[in-house]
């Protein structure tokens, strides 16, 4: 088997993109040894399921050759059942669906993207209450349970009139590490999949673009951050509404269903090295 030469630029890029992940691991007490063992499982799992020849499961020896993982470890790790990495936990998916209905469906919104404060109880708010919102999405979950959890996470707040206010135009938990890590897992995975596809596959690339400057003032960065939060959410809410309409109008067969992720992000950090260089703008 001919193994491709490793491009130095790829190794350098991998080292760079791993830095924030390693920062997270060190802050949360994940050591190199424990992560290396986890990484072995990922190498074996990807080689087994995505690098088959003639759609036949590869042998332990071939996986060992592809990955560099010892054959004894390959045999042990293949015996482990791999979990589905494509879907969000049910509680997260339910929350995102509920917020989408609140944002886009009367009588819960003033217009798409403008959610109304909802009376907590159906006895006071009727069809436009929080009780009614939850009941529209699921009759198996009590509205009080959802409300208590969302108050804990900071997704909603209650006012003095016992009305429920949505705190953000998306299901974005302000508290609760497990809920935040679910989005970290989902969003970073899908962004990486799009980028890897564009590097390795022929045909139409996935849309993946960014704008970056390196000599902005703190005031300018604050203004841009606010613009991204407002205009970016407007874009995402519009796409969310379009996707919701299409999901209802164009129902695929079970074997033709596909999932999508559309993302937008903003990041800034100090850049002293740019002080002596001209301002640059780039889109890539």
pLDDT tens for each residue of 204-251:
999 999 999 999 999 999 999 999 988 998 898 889 888 888 988 998
CB 133 within 8 A of CB 118: yes
Sequence-separated (6 or more) residues with CB below 8 Å from residue 184: none
Q: Which pTM value belongs to this model?
A: 0.69
To the nearest 10°, report the CA torsion of 239, 213, 9, 29. Answer: -70
pLDDT computed for residue 117 by the predictor: 95
User: What does the pLDDT look like over 93-114, one tens digit per residue?
Assistant: 788 789 888 988 899 998 887 8
Q: Per-residue pLDDT tens for 140-194?
A: 889 999 999 888 878 899 999 999 999 876 666 666 777 788 888 889 999 999 9
**Is pLDDT of 267 > 70?**
yes
> Considering only CA atoms, which of 233, 168, 186 is closest in space to residue 90?
186
pLDDT surpasses 80 at 86: no
Is residue 45 within 8 A of residue 76, CB to CB? The reply is no
Q: State the Cα–Cα distance between residues 233 and 213, nearest whole angstrom.
A: 21
**3-class secondary structure, 224:** helix
Note whether 167 and 156 are within 8 A (CB): yes
Indicate if the pLDDT at residue 282 is higher than 60: no
| Cβ 115 vs Cβ 121: under 8 Å | no
Q: What's the pLDDT score for residue 278?
A: 46
Query: What residue spans define the domains of the chain?
Result: 1-83, 90-166, 209-284
């Amino acid at each position: 088997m001919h193994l491709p030469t490793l491009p130095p630029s790829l190794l350098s890029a991998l080292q760079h993109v791993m830095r924030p992940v390693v920062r997270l691991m060190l802050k949360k007490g994940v050591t190199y040894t424990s992560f290396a063992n986890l990484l072995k499982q990922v190498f074996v799992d990807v080689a087994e399921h995505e690098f088959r020849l003639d759609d036949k499961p590869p042998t332990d020896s071939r996986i060992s050759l592809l990955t560099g993982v010892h054959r004894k470890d390959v045999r042990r790790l293949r015996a482990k059942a791999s979990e589905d990495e494509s879907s969000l936990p049910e509680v997260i998916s339910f929350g995102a669906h509920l917020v989408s209905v609140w944002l886009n469906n009367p009588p819960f919104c003033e217009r798409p993207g403008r959610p109304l404060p909802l009376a907590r109880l159906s006895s006071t708010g009727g069809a436009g209450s929080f009780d009614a919102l939850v009941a529209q999405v699921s009759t198996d979950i009590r509205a009080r349970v959802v409300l208590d959890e969302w108050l804990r996470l900071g997704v909603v707040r209650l006012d003095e009139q016992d009305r429920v206010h949505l705190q953000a135009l998306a299901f974005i938990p302000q508290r609760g590490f497990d809920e935040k890590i679910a989005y970290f897992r989902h969003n970073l995975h899908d962004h990486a999949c799009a980028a890897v596809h564009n590097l390795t596959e022929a045909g139409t690339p996935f849309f993946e673009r960014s704008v970056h400057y390196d000599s902005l003032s703190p005031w300018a960065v604050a203004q841009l951050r606010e613009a991204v939060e407002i205009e970016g959410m407007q874009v995402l809410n519009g796409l969310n509404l379009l996707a919701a309409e299409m999901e209802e109008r164009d129902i695929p067969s079970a074997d033709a269903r596909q999932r999508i992720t559309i993302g937008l992000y903003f990041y800034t950090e100090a850049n002293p090295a740019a002080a002596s260089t001209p301002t640059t703008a780039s889109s890539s």
